[in-house]
Amino acid sequence: MADTQRIKLAIPQSPQPIRLSRTAIGLLAATIVLAVLLTFSTLKNINRAQLLMENFLQDKGETILRSIEAGTRASMVMMHHINNQDPLHNLLIENSKGEDILFIAVVDTDGSIIDQAGHLGNAVLSAADIESLSTTGQATTRLNRKGDVFIYSKFFTIDEKMREMHMPDEERKRWQEQLAASNKIISVGLLTEEFDKARKQDARHALFMGAILFLVGAAGFYFLFLYQKMRITSAALADVKLYAEAIIESIPVSIISLDADNRIVSCNQNTEDLFGCTLDDLLWQPVEKAFPELATAISESCGSAFEQTAEGKNSEGCIIPLRISCSPLVNHDDASIGKVLVIRDMSSIRNMEIQIERSRRMAALGKMAAGIAHEIRNPLGTLRGFAQFFGSKPEATEDDKMHSSLMVNEIDRLNHTVSGLLQFSRPREPHLRRLSIDALFAKTITLMKADLANHDVRFHCPRNTGIEYTGDPDLLLQVLVNLLKNSINAIASGGDISLSCKEDDHHIRISVIDSGCGMSERERERMFDPFFTTTRTGTGLGLAVSHQIIEQHHGTFEVITEKNTGTTITMVLPK
């Protein structure tokens, strides 16, 4: 069950404010401008259509009324000989036969209908219309309540043309009196159905354009929403990428990504630092070609769930121990797309193992040495006393005195070795205080001046480093003396020895560099072991005690040596 479960990954994310792109702003602005233009255009078209309809119907009504007036005058001329009949009704009927003419009516000034043709219905003149006609004398227009009938009304004006008619004066005068007495108003009701259809069609077109505009605006807002969501998603993906890169770069191991063909597609900075190459050098190379010495271990690790050990060359060309593990890379469909190699530099762990093993051996040897030294030291004192006694007797010969002196010297040498064993087995606690490295170097030079001169050594040492350190000056002086004595023994007459000191934010590094014979790999591994020495006169305890003192200061030794070239031993002391 645990193998099928997925780890839910949550990473820190920065807040994403809503920001509009130029495209989104342009789309919104265009939508708003189009909406305003469409509204303005629609209203303008409606008003213009209304005005055109009224002007057209007004002109048509004026034409019909003038036709009736002209017909009335002509009928008067034709009919005044025929029983004096009124021709107006016939004219109303004839002129009302048009499809868009609802009615034609003649109305008196009190609103009563004198004559009509067509379907008058409730479309009569109102008191306001009559008053307006009486006041201004101008024609009036209006729409009925439903808005489907346009009513055009005006007074008859045929009396102005009576002078042109060829009729007896008595007849003309009679007609003029009748017209003046009647003061008739004629109204024409015109249907607005065609205009209503056009208006409805315009309204449908406006609604259609509004719907299109609404869809465009909605699409704009939707795309704006998608853009914002895409931007947030892109930012989240960028955060995930940076998060993954930060994790990969912070892991203190080499991480190499391979594609399905085992070609290198990426690596972290630790890989470049470890092997001394860049991603450009490794990109798209088969991993077996890029690291031929690791090909077997990589192949075995890819086919196994366990780490594989191997040895490779670091950026400095040195052989280093490595551990290699391999994990498959899968996509969201659980399809394999490559592998991830994790390569760990085991040098520090190997050194720690060596240090632990050395400390364990030293602890065991210290216990043994303490017991041996305690048992040997007292008899040595007795032997030294007897040797001096026999050598000082009056009857002692010169040979006896020589042998006695030789015994005392050998006992003193043995006692010196025993004292070293006691110091190794029960080292004193360091008394820490602030000290000057320059003063420590000066005291060291004073103690070693005779030895350096006797071996004709060219000695180099800085005078004014200005570095200070908190430690035990006596113990550190003992370490420097031991290292310099070893360097003197390792070089021939006329060699070079340098003493230097450097510091960084966390450590002080004191180095002793000689141009001597150097050490083999076996000698370098055993140089801090008790009783290991390459000289006849050495006890093999100097470097062991020095290692112990540096450990008491929570420091370490770094050794760089090469046979017949020289040795550099550095004390790395934490601040």
> Is residue 229, in this structure, part of any structural domain at all?
no
Mean pLDDT, rounded, of the chain = 79
The mean per-residue pLDDT over the stretch 511-517 comes to 91
pLDDT at 1: 39
pLDDT at 507: 93
Torsion sign across C-alpha atoms 481, 486, 492, 498: negative
Q: What are phi and psi of 105, to 5 degrees?
A: -135, 145
Q: Kindly provide the b/e burial profile for residues 198-231, where b requires at least 16 CB atoms within 10 angstroms of the residue's own CB.
A: ebeeeeeebeeeeeebeeebeebeeebeebbeee
Same domain, 411 and 468: no
Are 379 and 561 in contact by the 8 Å Cβ rule? The answer is: no
Q: Does the structure show a pLDDT above 80 at 251? A: yes
Q: Cα separation of 554 and 548, whole Å?
A: 10
Say what percent of the chain tops pLDDT 90: 11
Residue 496: domain span: 433-574
Partners of residue 510 on adjacent β-strands: 501, 571
Given the structure tokens 């350096």, which residue do they identify? 452
Q: Cα separation of 417 and 411, whole Å?
A: 10
Tell me the pLDDT tens digit for each residue of 409-451.
878 777 777 766 666 666 678 889 999 999 999 999 988 888 8
pLDDT at 423: 64
pLDDT at 347: 83
The residue type found at 25 is: I
Same domain, 457 and 378: no
Q: Residue 305 maps to which CATH number?
A: 3.30.450.20
Q: Does the structure show a pLDDT above 80 at 173? A: no
Q: Does the structure show a pLDDT above 80 at 129? A: no
> Is residue 59, in this structure, part of any structural domain at all?
yes
The mean per-residue pLDDT over the stretch 206-224 comes to 79
Same domain, 339 and 384: no
Q: Cα separation of 424 and 362, whole Å?
A: 8
> Is residue 11, in this structure, part of any structural domain at all?
no
Whole-angstrom Cα Rg for the chain = 61
Tell me the pLDDT tens digit for each residue of 471-501.
999 899 989 999 998 898 888 777 899 999 9
pLDDT at 400: 77
Q: Cα separation of 17 and 232, whole Å?
A: 9
Between 73-82, 244-253, 533-542, the lowest mean confidence (pLDDT) is in 73-82
Same domain, 396 and 336: no
Structure tokens at 433: 């205080």
pLDDT band at 538 (very low <50, low <70, confident <90, very high): low
The mean per-residue pLDDT over the stretch 249-255 comes to 85
Environment class of 183 (CB within 10 Å of its CB; exposed 0-12, middle 13-18, buried 19+): exposed
Q: Cα separation of 315 and 255, whole Å?
A: 16
pLDDT at 427: 66
Q: Does the structure show a pLDDT above 60 at 3? A: no
> Is residue 208, in this structure, part of any structural domain at all?
no
Same domain, 360 and 400: yes
The residue type found at 58 is: Q
Q: Cα separation of 154 and 221, whole Å?
A: 57
pLDDT at 242: 84
pLDDT band at 570 (very low <50, low <70, confident <90, very high): very high
Q: Which residues contact 151 (CB under 8 A, 6 or more apart)?
A: 123, 125, 141, 142, 143, 144, 187, 188, 189, 190
The mean per-residue pLDDT over the stretch 112-116 comes to 79
> Is residue 215, in this structure, part of any structural domain at all?
no
Q: Residue 30 maps to which CATH number?
A: 3.40.1840.10
The packing angle between helices 398-425 and 347-391, to 10°, is 150
> Is residue 9, in this structure, part of any structural domain at all?
no
Same domain, 420 and 438: no
Which comes out higher in pLDDT, residue 226 or 539? Answer: 226
Query: Which of 165, 197, 229 corresponds to the end of one domain?
Result: 197
> Is residue 523, in this structure, part of any structural domain at all?
yes
Query: Which of 168, 197, 226 corresponds to the end of one domain?
Result: 197
Are 322 and 294 in contact by the 8 Å Cβ rule? The answer is: yes
**Mode of pairing for the β-strands spanning 185-191 and 113-118:** unpaired
> Is residue 78, in this structure, part of any structural domain at all?
yes
pLDDT at 14: 57
Q: Which residues contact 125 (CB under 8 A, 6 or more apart)?
A: 107, 111, 151, 153, 185, 187
Same domain, 444 and 535: yes
Q: How many domains does the chain have?
A: 4
Q: Per-residue DSSP letters for 352-394?
A: HHHHHHHHHHHHHHHHHHHHHHHHHHHHHHHHHHHHHHHHT-T
Q: Cα separation of 347 and 36, whole Å?
A: 76
Q: Is 262 left (phi over 0), alpha (psi -120 to 50) or beta?
A: left
Say what percent of the chain tops pLDDT 70: 82
Between 148-162, 292-306, 449-463, 539-553, the lowest mean confidence (pLDDT) is in 148-162
pLDDT at 574: 92
Q: Per-residue DSSP letters for 398-443?
A: HHHHHHHHHHHHHHHHHHHHHHHHHHHHSPPPP--EEEEHHHHHHH
Same domain, 68 and 35: yes
Tell me the pLDDT tens digit for each residue of 91-109.
788 787 877 888 888 887 7
Same domain, 175 and 304: no
At 249, which helix (H) or strand (E)? helix 193-250
Q: Cα separation of 19 and 393, whole Å?
A: 110
Same domain, 62 and 146: yes
Q: Residue 543 maps to which CATH number?
A: 3.30.565.10
Q: Per-residue DSSP letters for 452-509?
A: HHHTT-EEE--S----EEEE-HHHHHHHHHHHHHHHHHHS-TT-EEEEEEEE-SSEEE
Are 552 and 495 in contact by the 8 Å Cβ rule? The answer is: no
pLDDT band at 198 (very low <50, low <70, confident <90, very high): confident
Same domain, 100 and 34: yes
Partners of residue 336 on adjacent β-strands: 330
Same domain, 328 and 393: no
Are 465 and 438 in contact by the 8 Å Cβ rule? The answer is: yes
Question: In sequence order, which ranges of 5-121 are alpha helices (DSSP H)?
Answer: 22-79, 88-95
Q: Does the structure show a pLDDT above 70 at 174? A: no
Query: Which of 379, 409, 425 corresponds to the end of one domain?
Result: 425
DSSP state at residue 320: E
